[in-house]
Chain A
Amino acid sequence: MITAERKPMEEIFRLIEPYGKILLVGCNECVTVCHAGGRKEVAMLASALRMGRMKLGAPLTVDELTLERQCDPEYAEELAMVVDQYDAVCSMACGCGVQTVAERYQGLPVLPMVNTEFMGSSESNGVWAERCAGCGNCVLGLTGGICPIARCSKRIFNGPCGGSTKGKCEVSPDIDCAWQLIWDRLKQLGQTELYSQIMAPKDWRTARDGGPRRIVREDMAI
């Protein structure tokens, strides 16, 4: 899941300062699951903005809407009937959602209300942790299902580094050492021989380093 957190209120007020009538748009997918930009958060932010602007003596009209999936043009289309009435769209979706809406409604400012953070999973109630960096060529099969790119602070492929202490990363005692986890898991799986092989330098072209990426599925394109 893509995780996000609402931007600080001061920043949001700064962003919307020039506008008098906005449409606040949430998304039912990832940002709903991580409680950053679903219907509930849209309602909460909308009333906070109305009140805040009232206090500033610059009243704001805020209408609320939450799309099924904001990163999909099909759903972004649902705004077509109403967007003309607004000075700006404020999006509570991840950066993909913001850009999908911005691309569809070229002349309209589309402002992000959340900070999109990482691809993670839910560790426990209210805790999300980074799990994948989207490198485009997954090595989890060699590393006991634990990602050395997203979860090792130094992106080490042949770890652990000398800073690994009692299972924790040298960067912070709050961070598990990915290589401790990898090793523990390899032992559990009886695959410790995987560790003895030197992992070769990665081809980063499949990651962001090759330039922005696209997936084209000829079989599905119309």
Chain B
Amino acid sequence: MKSDSNLEKVLAAGNFAVTGELGPPRGANLQAIKDKASHLKGMVDAVNVTDNQTAVVRMASWAVSLVLKEMGMEPNYQMVCRDRNRLAMQSDILGAAALGINTMLCLSGDHPSFGDHPQAANVHDIDSIQQIQMVANMRDQGRFQGGAEIDTPPRLFVGAAANPFGDPFELRVLRLGKKVAAGADFIQTQCIYNMERFAEYMRQAVDMGLTEKTKLLAGVTPLKSAGMARYMAKKVPGMDVPDEVVKRIADQPKDKQAEEGIKLLCEQIEQLREMPGVAGIHLMAIEWEHRVPEIVERAGLLPRPQV
């Protein structure tokens, strides 16, 4: 084992993993975290804690991760390259690891122009692939990015994100390959709605042997309404929502759309479980944490393994 990560153990034991997501509050509200987290406890193997998601300021990802840890959950500490240089990253990583955080996810981060501080200078000192390499080297070689030795190296299960749907398509698997080569132990993908295209992506990933070197969790997000489906289809960069999917939700009366969204999601999870190379799902129930127990139950993903 590379770490004490619950996610690592669940995957190593050959289980189909389930990860969830929690967006920290936009204030110093501890109770808000606990309330949201309570819905996820026992339902998922690790909870992604987003880092200033969509370039909007929120409570520190490491702090919220620590709260989850204290609640007996496994946080997946997210860190974006947008907001800090390599010094800040490495010091945060050491702090998080020392406080018992075992799993982290390396990301570039959305551009500040999308967020609440569009005036901000963005850092991007290193990119997400360099970041993966940096964390993996900190752990495996006990070296800082600058080369100096680390007295007690952090033990982290290192993850990365992948979007199978951005363009150009032929670069998507190659980029996944780069992340794996950089040392990503696991991958969580962008939300998948176009199953055919994703299956093609997985075929290529499996052919290249990538899924033997890393654990790939397929991203899913329940569509709560036709409005959300249309928004995802039109407004979210790099997202591929086929017309049939939007139509299927939109064809339902307003009060049945959420239910249809969950039904669709369960079908998708079923398909993903059958797909070669998929080691689990990453369930991003954006501001719908309270529905997670119902979703994982209906998708037949309970109980979560105790490892």
A→B interface (CB under 8 Å): 201-205, 207, 209-211
Contact = CB atoms under 8 A, between A and B. Distances in A.
B120 interface: yes
B121 A204 contact: yes
Contacts of A209: 112, 120-122
A187 B111 CA distance: 41
A213 to B, nearest CB: 13
Contacts of B112: 209
A203 B112 CA distance: 12
Contacts of B111: 211
B113 A204 contact: no
A211 B113 contact: yes
A211 B114 CA distance: 12
A76 to B, nearest CB: 27
A210 B113 CA distance: 7
Contacts of A202: 119, 121
B118 interface: yes
A211 B120 CA distance: 12
A113 to B, nearest CB: 27
Nearest to B122: A209
Interface of B: 111-113, 118-122
Contacts of B120: 204, 209
Contacts of A201: 119
A207 B118 CA distance: 12
A207 B122 CA distance: 11
A153 to B, nearest CB: 15
Which residue of B111, B112, B118, B119 has the most chain A CB atoms within 10 A of its CB atom?
B119
A204 B118 CA distance: 8
B88 to A, nearest CB: 15
A205 B119 CA distance: 5
B14 to A, nearest CB: 44
Contacts of B113: 205, 210-211
Contacts of A207: 121
A68 B293 CA distance: 69
A153 B41 CA distance: 48
20 contacts: A201-B119, A202-B119, A202-B121, A203-B119, A204-B119, A204-B120, A204-B121, A204-B122, A205-B113, A205-B118, A205-B119, A207-B121, A209-B112, A209-B120, A209-B121, A209-B122, A210-B113, A210-B118, A211-B111, A211-B113
Most chain B C-beta atoms within 10 Å of own C-beta, residue among A201, A205, A209, A210: A209
Nearest to A155: B121
B20 to A, nearest CB: 33
A152 to B, nearest CB: 14
A210 B115 CA distance: 12
Nearest to A202: B119
Contacts of A211: 111, 113
Nearest to B123: A209
Nearest to A201: B119
Contacts of A203: 119
A52 B111 CA distance: 46
A204 B82 CA distance: 14
B218 to A, nearest CB: 31
A204 B112 CA distance: 10
A200 to B, nearest CB: 10
A122 to B, nearest CB: 29
A79 to B, nearest CB: 29
Nearest to B121: A204
A179 B120 CA distance: 23
A202 B120 CA distance: 8
B133 to A, nearest CB: 24
Given A203-B119, A205-B113, 16 more contacts: A201-B119, A202-B119, A202-B121, A204-B119, A204-B120, A204-B121, A205-B118, A205-B119, A207-B121, A209-B112, A209-B120, A209-B121, A210-B113, A210-B118, A211-B111, A211-B113
A211 B112 CA distance: 10
Contacts of A205: 113, 118-119
Contacts of A204: 119-122
A179 to B, nearest CB: 19
A197 B118 CA distance: 24
Contacts of B118: 205, 210
Contacts of B119: 201-205
B80 to A, nearest CB: 15
B61 to A, nearest CB: 22
Nearest to A200: B119
Contacts of A210: 113, 118
A204 B121 CA distance: 5
A202 B111 CA distance: 17
* Shortest beta-carbon contacts, A-B, top 6: A203-B119, A204-B121, A209-B121, A209-B122, A205-B119, A205-B118
